[in-house]
Amino acid sequence: MNPIRKLAFVVNADKDGAARLARELVAVAEQAKVKLKQTSRFPLPRGWLKGWDACCVIGGDGTLLGVARESAREQVPIIGVNRGSLGFLTTFSADEARADFAALLGGAFRVTHRAMLDCSTGPGLHDLALNDVLIKDEVNSRLVRLEVFADGELVTDYICDGLIVSTPTGSTAYNLSAGGPILHPDSQVIALTPICPHTLSNRSIILDENVRLRVSNRADESRLLVAMDGQRNLRVSAHSSVEISIAKLRLPLAQRPDYSHFSVVRSKLGWSGGFAGKK
């Protein structure tokens, strides 16, 4: 990749060691004569990344999700440095960032483009999600009855605690916790995973990424809440539907040249039978 000459930092100061690590990386960037700016505010305001070469996010996956929409709109790659817990999106550890940051500034990284979801709940009610869209009742204790259509064809109706519509990137987030499948981030699909369905045969459904979904509320006494990446909510009027499709915009995410998705999954989820890597 081209060298980074203008770098923005987003630092979650609430994460242990994030501020100290930011100071170390800023010093490396200053030595390389890179133009810098920094904020601890996220989600980012519209236009904050316009004209910048890359954005270094120091925190957890939640911090990165707060930057994702602006990054996608401006097509500015995110360098995610993990100071949270699992960190599937913040793919650089603190030690890797310290060791490799000068090389990263010189262009020693590759960019992958992650699919995002475009969700609308009515005129003017529109948002993007990198991980998932969660559809549930406004009152947490209530069941929902949802009718799902794919390209106008009825898929099924669900009686459940909620429905997760997930990208491949988001498959290791709420989707995984709800019993959904792990999807490779390059797979061109969408996953539908019901939460605690009342029909035992209701399981995750995998659909082509070109599909256009429509989810309707079939319980007259309830109102739906639509959560975008667990951070932002869209409300749905009593008789409106939720429209979901893959967005035209994709998130540019910086990774090490030797990045391995399966290596990350094995490490983060503690997978090991004692034979991995042996011949």
Q: pLDDT of 22-76, one tens digit each?
A: 999 999 999 999 999 999 999 999 999 999 999 999 999 999 999 999 999 999 9
Q: What is the mean pLDDT of residues 84-113?
A: 93
Task: Find out whether 224 and 242 touch, Cβ atoms under 8 Å.
Answer: yes
Domain map (residue ranges) of the chain: 6-109+256-269, 117-248
Token representation of residue 270: 């503690």
Please give the mean pLDDT across all residues of the chain. 93
Task: Pick one of 2.70.98.90, 3.30.1540.20, 2.60.200.30, 2.60.120.330 as the CATH number of 117-248.
Answer: 2.60.200.30
Token representation of residue 210: 């070109």
6-109+256-269 and 117-248 share one CATH topology?
no
Q: What is the pLDDT of residue 87?
A: 82
Q: What is the mean pLDDT of residues 249-275?
A: 88
Question: Residue 169 above 90 pLDDT?
Answer: yes
Task: Find out whether 208 and 153 touch, Cβ atoms under 8 Å.
Answer: no
Q: What is the pLDDT of residue 273?
A: 64
Q: What is the pLDDT of residue 236?
A: 86
Active site residues: 61
Element at 23 (helix H, strand E): helix 18-31
CA distances from 35 to 4, 7, 51, 95, 201 (A): 9, 6, 12, 23, 56
Q: What is the mean pLDDT of residues 199-212?
A: 94
Q: Which fold has domain 6-109+256-269?
A: Rossmann fold (3.40.50)
**Residue located via tokens 């060791």:** 99
